[in-house]
Chains A and B, each alone.
Chain A
């Protein structure tokens, strides 16, 4: 079953690492709040289907990565509504 993981923790928080470790290859990852900082660290490998909240990127002056889909709050609603299962880290 495909799972949507929503993480709001900064990459230096232990729970961010635990979230990445728990991901299956087919899972989706949504970065919110301080988790978007991960996009500025090329050393952090994200799953192929990864998303980031536009407002949180903008608030931190970050542009994201070409491989990341940047979404707004309505996009987050659609992602969560379509998910079979959601884990909020």
Chain B
């Protein structure tokens, strides 16, 4: 086991338009399998689309929000979507739905909407941070 190494993963590329969620998930599974831990997963910018419970891809394609949600829940890994990125792109929890008087909320569990303070804290305390970017 390598309990001294923990990763924070930051995903900034959206599912279906970039490979970022796919590469990050393959990396995350391989890391856990080798005994490394993942402190936290952050979605930032277009990456927040990965936390939409409303994604409805064809049944023969991977549902990336669902695949990530299952992985995070199964391994008790905290996951955060940047609230500033999320609100702009229509990713809401119940609290923000009420605040902005929208007709639905759509964030998939276990993702939470939080500010960047959490991110800074995690980067300060974790030993390795990896970014999974989009194409630009």
Chain A residues at the B interface, C-beta cutoff of 8 Å: 6, 8-10, 13, 15, 32-34, 53, 55, 72-74, 76-78, 80-81, 83, 86, 88-89
Contact = CB atoms under 8 A, between A and B. Distances in A.
Nearest to B129: A86
A55 B31 CA distance: 16
B130 A13 contact: no
Contact of A81 (B5, B26, B29, B33): B5
A72 B33 CA distance: 13
Interface residues of B, number: 22
Interface of B: 2, 5, 7, 19-20, 23, 26-27, 29-31, 33-34, 36, 128-133, 135-136
B30 A77 contact: yes
A81 B128 contact: yes
A8 B133 contact: yes
A74 B30 contact: yes
A77 B136 contact: no
Contact of A33 (B2, B19, B33): B19
